[in-house]
Amino acid sequence: MPLRLDAGRAGFEAEFDALVTARRQAPQDVRATVAEILARVEKDGDAAVIDYTKKFDRLDLTPETIAIGPDEIEGAWGKCDRRLLSALEHSAARIEDYHRRQMPQDSLYRDDDGTELGFRWQPLDAVGLYVPGGKAAYPSSVLMNAVPARVAGVPRLAMVVPTPGGELVPAVLAAAKIAGVSEIYRIGGAQAVAALAYGTETIGAVDKIVGPGNIYVATAKAQVFGQVGIDSVAGPSEVLIIADKGSAPKWIAADLMAQAEHDSAAQSVLITDDQEFADAIGREVEACLASLPRAAIAAASWRDHGAIITVSDLQDAVGLVDRMAPEHLQLACEDGIAGQLAAAVKHAGAIFIGRLTPEAIGDYVAGPSHVLPTSRTARFSSGLSVFDFLKRSSLIRYGAAGLAKSGAAAVTLAEAEGLHAHALSVALRLKEGLKEGLKGD
């Protein structure tokens, strides 16, 4: 049974704090193993990647077979059901449309002193995309990571996908083709993260690595951060659902299990203002589990990390939401209430508003990327977007008038900080440059 909490009961604050602050971190032995793998790949390149792929994925590779070629990509496309390809194309189109609307504009202006200021956005040169593989393959993750990068203008997308025992779901390669990814390698795990971060004889290093993976992948991304950028160190997936008694218990139970079936460490939490509705959800979850192929995983998640919380008024849930800062917030309420709650909440990765908007639709076709901040990081970070694949440069051009007005202040500040070469750099221009006239002014 999941945790049952009542906001009106004595001791609730301590119980809720324990739920919020529970940590599902990588154990020390995982961190040590990952560090060893990263060091070996950095030192030995392809040879280390090949050895680890044989050990962990039971696949013999050579430098010539690490990459997945165009013929294999085309072959995979031909193996996919037409309905699936159509669904992937539909999803990609919606993701692209959403992210094109996010693209920022450059700006350049002159202030009152004639100083020219602005900023310019440019795409990263190369991005690595990590995609889970084998039987737990997610073509939707290919689209959710690759399409925003392509919209941002990244010229090189290098995808890694593990193929344990040589098994690769054709839909993953089909999604890569739709997203415009042609550089693909059949490797995974921490060794794939290392190959992308440091480069090998076969795989060129990238500037940033994005995409979900298991605990070894997440830990590897954390450890290579600084050598390369990363999107986030993702924890287990999570959903918080606020639902009233007007919602169908069967729907809400399915929504909770949709998150729970990801991983036994995933978390599904319900907040409601009706005790009878809460009881009905518990019964419907059991009925739902009876029909799920991944019932063992979902049941473990629900038992170990799930929670049902009752409050006296749904408006009281806002503070609880912000303390949890969930990856996904689903508001299965009457439209007016759902809109009010959505406007009041400050911390959530993505907000799904109304009874007809299950979180699961956001995993596939809504448009925003389903790569979202987990483990309360929605307090200070956002979901994956074009901004993850762009960098901004400031533009500054001073003329004589601007330097004459601001230069003395810069000198004063530099001297106050004990940085005398800084002060001299500006003072010389004030003394000599303004007399001669500055080029281009």
SS (H, E, C) 316-350: HHHHHHHHHCCCEEEEECCHHHHHHHHHHCCCCCE
Which has the closest alpha carbon to 268: 292, 252, 290, 291? 252
Please provide residue 327's backbone torsions phi and psi, each rounded to the nearest 5 degrees.
-60, -50
Please pick, among 261, 327, 359, 370, the residue that the annotation labels catalytic.
Answer: 327
Catalytic residue at 327?
yes
Token pair, residue 263, equals 């991983």
Please pick, among 99, 262, 305, 328, the residue that the annotation labels catalytic.
Answer: 328
Q: What is the pLDDT along the chain (441 residues), one digit of tens a residue?
A: 899 999 999 999 999 999 998 865 557 789 999 999 999 999 999 999 999 999 999 999 999 999 999 999 999 999 999 999 999 999 999 999 999 999 999 999 999 999 999 999 999 999 999 998 866 789 999 999 999 999 999 999 999 999 999 998 999 999 999 999 989 999 999 999 999 999 999 999 999 999 988 889 999 999 999 999 999 988 889 999 999 999 999 999 999 999 999 989 999 999 999 999 999 999 999 999 999 999 999 999 999 999 999 999 999 999 999 999 999 999 999 999 999 999 999 999 999 999 999 999 999 999 999 999 999 999 999 999 999 999 999 999 999 999 999 999 999 999 999 999 999 999 999 988 766 655 544
Please state the separation of Cα 114 from the chain's center in Å: 41
Token pair, residue 148, equals 């925003």
Residue given tokens 């990068």 in the structure block: 149
End-to-end CA gap in the chain: 74
Domains of the chain listed by start with CATH number: 3-24+235-366 (3.40.50.1980), 28-230 (3.40.50.1980), 398-436 (no CATH)
pTM assigned to the model: 0.93
3-state secondary structure of 138: coil
Residue 375: CB partners within 8 Å, gap ≥ 6?
23, 24, 235, 236, 238
User: What is the DSSP track for 373-386?
Assistant: --TTGGGT-----G
| Helix or strand holding residue 89 (H, E) | helix 82-100
